[in-house]
Structure 1
Amino acid sequence: MVGIITYGAYIPRYRIKLEEIARVWGDNAHDITSGLGVKEKSVPDLDEDTATMAVEAARNALKRRDVDREAIGAIYVGSESHPYAVKPTACTVGEAIAATPNMTAADYEFACKAGTAGIQACMGLVGSGMIKYGVAIGSDVAQGAPSDALEYTAAAGGAAFIIGKDDPIAELHHTVSFTTDTPDFWRREGQSYPRHGGRFTGEPGYFKHTMGAVNLLFDQIDKSPKDYDYAVFHQPNAKFPQKVAKMLGFTPEQIRPGLVVPRLGNTYSGASMIGLAATLDIAKAGDRIFVASFGSGAGSDAFDIEVTDHIESDLINRKAAPSVEDLLKNPIYLDYALYARHKGKIVMQE
């Protein structure tokens, strides 16, 4: 069975509180934080970008389990904020983790679900026998124009999953996708910040596609929310995943471990993948995990995952790399001016 061999996450230590952003733009901080369910968001350091965070997440995955670098046959990095318009982030990751050059590598882009699309590609390549291991990463330095609604949640972080057949710690039983041409969110070539369709973000964006993928998967494998111990949904804010979970019949207890957005913000391509990493941090053998990502534009990927006995064996040491909870601790808070510098909203003159 194809599954997750190991995993890792990375979140910068810097944070900004939403009330600080609201202070600058004269907004009502209480209404914003209560409306979004987010208190603060992560901010990259001055020398961090999608590539460096993807590398750190992949290195943390390899700290937990020794994987033969010569056997890595594919690396896919999903992001909305690749450092280069023309130069793959995946190649940088491969070089940084000393992977073999005898591999395929590519950057994926599908708004916030590009990372889970990478997982699906690795599942297919591993399952067909074309490669032994594949690395799928979701990493983003999410962008939001100053004073735009997106600025309140656009965060930074990522997670990496190595896919293979050798004693996986979590089996990937089944996956489906639900995709339409719904322009709820976009950024044209050359534009610094994305734009959004306002009321279209929820419906017909997030909820239609998430529900579509979830119900399609349930129909194909004859499962329901009661068959799972945990569930992870894309989390652009705290309200959407809790609402869709309730609509589908999942309980607050099932989604709580993976709901990291209140202290993290929306890491776009990293959002559902960091939520899955947080869930694997505390999962036990036999646990069943449901995952549904969402990417504007629009589409959703859903996964049926079962944790195996190997997660509690000597094959992997989860404590060898920081957990998501560890990465969320001891933040360094910035004021808006420093935040704007870190995000490149203002730059120093040479």
Structure 2
Amino acid sequence: MVGIVGYGAYVPSYRIKVEEIAKVWGDDPVALSRGLIVNEKSVPSSDEDTATIAVTAARYALARAQIDPKNIGAVYVGSESHPYAVKPTASIVAEAVCATPKLTAADLEFACKAGTAGIQMSMGLVQSDMVDYALAIGADTSQGAPGDALEYTASAGGAAYIIGNDNTVADIEHTCSYTTDTPDFYRREGEPYPSHGGRFTGEPAYFKHVLSAAEMLFDETNTAAEDYDYACFHQPNGKFYLRAGKKLGFTSEQIERGLLTPNIGNTYSGAVPLALSNILDVAEPGDKIFVISYGSGAGSDGFAITVKDEIEERRELAPKTEDIISKKTYVDYAVYAKFKGKIKM
């Protein structure tokens, strides 16, 4: 069965607190923290972008996979903040991890679910015997206009997954998707910041797709919430995440491990891959994981995953997600604006 052979995560060490942003715009930080369930977010340094995040996460995934990178036959990087409009991030990653030139590589874009779309594509290539291993990454240095609600959550980070069918640490037993044309969030070519539909992004966008994909996954696997040890969903903020989990019948114990947004913000394409990596860092052999991503525009991918014995011997081969997140340095709004290029010369 096709599954995860190796995984790795990376989050920039810089942080900015919600109250620091609120101080600049005159907003109420307490109300924002309670409303969004976000306390602080990660900030990429001036020398960090989607490519550097993807490369670091990929190297950690390779360390856990214990495979020759030249056996990777496909590299996909999902993001809505690729450093180049015309120049693939995927080829940079492939070269940096010493993969063979005899591979297919592409950048993917589907708002916040491009990373999980890459996992599905990788599964297909492995299952059809076109490649031995494929590398799928979800990473972003997301944007939010100064003073916009997105500025309180849009952050940076990502995770990488090596997909194969030999010596897996977790098997992907089923996947499904739910997609419609729901334009809740978009950014025109050349525009520096995205636009969003305000409350429309919750209903009928996020919740319709997340809940529909989840119910589809339940039906197609003949399972229910109580059959899983862990569950994680896309997390534009903590409030949406917790509401989705409750609606689907999951307990706080099942979903709390995957909730990272309160401490790192919304990493967009990296959100679900990072949540899953944090779960894999502690999951026991035999544990079952329920995963639902979401990307504006709009769609959701679902995965039913079972952890294998191999996880215990390989998870210690690279830094754990919580350890990466715990290394942080706080910056003020001026430094944040400088790093994010909000100050125009």
Identity of paired residues, percent?
63
Distance across 2 between alignment mates of 1:153 and 1:57: 21
Question: Do residues 331 (structure 1) and 328 (structure 2) align?
Answer: yes
1:106 aligns with 2:102: no
Deviations 1:142-185 (A, max 9, x none): 00000000000000000000000111100000000000000000
| Structure 1 residue 68, shift from structure 2 partner | 1.5
**TM-aligned CA deviation for residue 78 of structure 1:** 0.3
Q: How many residues align?
A: 345
* Alignment partners' CA distance in 2, 1:50 and 1:121: 20
How far off is 1:6 after superposition?
0.6
1:164 corresponds to: 164
Map residues 215-294 of structure 1 onto 2, 5 A cutoff.
Answer: 215-294=215-294
Q: Return the TM-score normalized by structure 1.
A: 0.97
Q: Corresponding residue for 1:146? A: 146
- Could you tell me how far 1:210 is from its partner in structure 2? 0.4
Cross-structure match for 1:26: 26
Amino acid in the other structure paired with 1:66:
Q
Instruction: Give distance in 2, aligned partners of 1:335 and 1:308.
Output: 43
Query: For the residues of structure 1 that align with 2:69 and 2:106, how far apart are their CA atoms?
Result: 17
Q: Select 2:338's aligned residue among 329, 336, 341.
A: 341
Aligned Cα RMSD in Å? 0.8
**Deviation at 1:309?**
1.1
Q: Distance in 2 between matches of 1:263 and 1:312?
A: 27
Q: CA deviation at 1:327?
A: 1.0
The aligned counterpart of 2:317 is 320
Per-residue deviation, 1:257: 0.9
Q: Note the residue ranges of structure 1 that are not aligned, 5 or more in a row.
A: none
TM-score, length-scaled by structure 2: 0.99
Partner of 1:51 in structure 2?
Answer: 51
In structure 2, what is the Cα distance between the partners aligned to 1:64 and 1:180? 36
User: 1:333 is matched by which residue type in structure 2?
Assistant: Y
| Alpha-carbon distance in structure 2 between the residues aligned to 1:33 and 1:248 | 24
Q: Describe the SS at the equivalent of 1:157.
A: strand
Question: 1:303 corresponds to which letter in structure 2?
Answer: F
Q: Give per-residue Cα distances to partners, 1:214-255, cap 9 Å, x unaligned.
A: 111111110110110000100110011110110010111001
Q: Is the 8 A contact 2:6 2:63 kept in 1?
A: no
- Runs of 4 or more, structure 1, over 6 Å off, are none
Secondary structure of the equivalent of 2:107?
Answer: strand
Residue 70 of structure 1 and its aligned partner are, at CA, apart by 1.7
Q: Distance in 2 between matches of 1:258 and 1:221?
A: 21
* Residue equivalent to 2:137: 137
Per mean C-alpha deviation after superposition, the further-off stretch among 326-335 and 283-292 is: 326-335
Give yes or no for contact 2:217–2:302 (8 Å, CA) kept in 1: yes
1:319 deviates by 2.1
Q: Structure 1 residue 125: deviation in Å?
A: 0.4
Long gaps (5+) in structure 2: none
Amino acid in structure 2 at the alignment position of 1:224: A
Give secondary structure in 2 for the equivalent of 1:48.
coil
The residue matched to 1:309 in structure 2 has which SS? Answer: coil
